[in-house]
Amino acid sequence: MQGLAASLLAEPPCRGWLPTRRPNSSRRGASGSSRASAAALGGSSGGSGGAKPSQQQHKQRQHAQTLPATWQQQLGSASRRGAAALAAAALAAAAVLTPPLAAPPAAEAVTQEQLLFLEAWRAVDRAYVDKKFNGQNWFKVREDALKKTPLGNRQETHDAIRALLASLGDPFTRFLAPDQYNALRRSTQGAVTGVGVEVSFKSAGSGAALTVIAPAPGGPAERAGIRPGDEIFAIDGQPTSSLSLYAAGNLLQGPEGSEVVLTVKPGNGGGPPRDVRVQRQPIAFNPVDWALCGSSGNLAPADPDSKLGYIRIATFSKQTAEKVRTALTELQQGGAQRLVLDVRNNGGGLFPAGVEVGRMLLDRGDIVLIADSDGVRDIYSAEGGAIEPKAPLVVLTNRGTASASEVLAGALKDNKRAQVAGETSFGKGLIQTLVELSDGSAVAITVAKYQTPAGIDINKIGIAPTIPIEPTRLADVPLSGEAFCRFASTDAAPKLF
């Protein structure tokens, strides 16, 4: 889904989509495509505290099987009269020696707060990518929390769920309070109001830097000079190292026209932190922009007069695949002889949309591998229906290229369908799913990892360019169709073809 990140915000790049867990899910049909279905939580419980019997328990069970037959069976082999005598004696002895049985204690009721906590625990147990749970016995974590953690009211329960998820050491597995979850859902449906920047923590733990993945094109943050890779140290004086991702997102949002002061350190070592005053505004994304350039100019010096098609994908939303389909068709009909696909500052979005765009440009080959702790379990492949499988193609990437856009760039690169030009991408190769809880809150859970068709783990590594472009020079390349076409004829245009 296009989350808070893609609109503004603080949702990390990649609102992922989890194929249903099932055996042999990487099987392909006649078309060679994966038959995986859409996201579903399922599967058996995992963790180191599972149901397998211990060696001691196994010995105890073996010993029990060798014990003599029960007293009923022994009596059955005796005479009826002897059995009656034995039974009478046993009952008499019991009456004399056994005190009256006390009533069993009443079962302790499970509270609504405990049930809510268990909902979150169970969602992670079923779906989390790491079945070692960061080296923890997940069942013991549950029992310890229920015994030792205050769960007397809703705030305490939410805090307990946050602590539970934090124990996994994964910044992308996190809790969303009801207002945060509602804001996330609203952001997938239209514009939100904020500074227009997508951010993420590149590592887990306290003190991690809040890093800018991508500013919204033309948004307040970009106009204020904030660039991909910059680090936000504070929001209105509050250190981001002490904030969760969604707490930071909430501070970046606010009423239209209100101002926020961001303490920003340039990501390229360009100087000390500085305060940047930014006015919040409605942020709306046009997911796809395209243009037919009358000439390739200096981008293709061997054939400068040939027509070039430019497609900019800002995010992967519900509309992206259809808009790219329209763009490719129009550019093809207009006579474009080569294509530039620009996914700079694209922080991801809907994973299926990235796969669909890949299928428009690839006739055969794998697009992405989905792996969990058990290895690769799903493969998404081309289906033979590409719109433009042959025209020379270059993909533009930078440090703001993340998640689904990295999947697309990696697929085109590994299948030798395209050159990748620019900078190494962000390195966000994790897939999350959102699980709504009964009180309207939700947990975002990392459920799998992306791998390129060559088996390269994208996470924290990224997609390396085959045509490196120096960052300051890359920043001069426009992010809109008409401006890009004008730029192609200038001396500043890098050679791409």
Q: What is the secondary structure of 362-431 as a DSSP string?
A: -SSSEEEEEEETTEEEEEEE--S--SSSSS-EEEEE-TT--THHHHHHHHHHHTTS-EEEES------EE
Measured in degrees and rounded to the nearest 5, phi and psi for residue 66 equal: -95, 0
Active-site residue flag, 428: yes
The CA-to-CA distance between both ends of the chain, in Å, stands at 34
Closest CA to 430 of 453, 455, 407: 407
State the Cα–Cα distance between residues 264 and 126, nearest whole angstrom. 39
């998640």: which residue's tokens?
403
- Which residue among the candidates 187, 317, 403, 425 is catalytic per the annotation? 403
Active-site residue flag, 403: yes
Q: How many CB atoms lie within 10 A of CB 292?
A: 18
Element (H, E) at 85: helix 80-97
Measured in degrees and rounded to the nearest 5, phi and psi for residue 338 equal: -150, 160
Closest CA to 368 of 418, 419, 431: 431
- Residue 236 near residue 261, CB atoms below 8 Å: yes
The one-letter amino acid at 442: A
- Which residue among the candidates 7, 34, 200, 428 is catalytic per the annotation? 428
DSSP helix/strand/coil, 161: helix
State the Cα–Cα distance between residues 397 and 468, nearest whole angstrom. 10
Catalytic residues: 403, 428
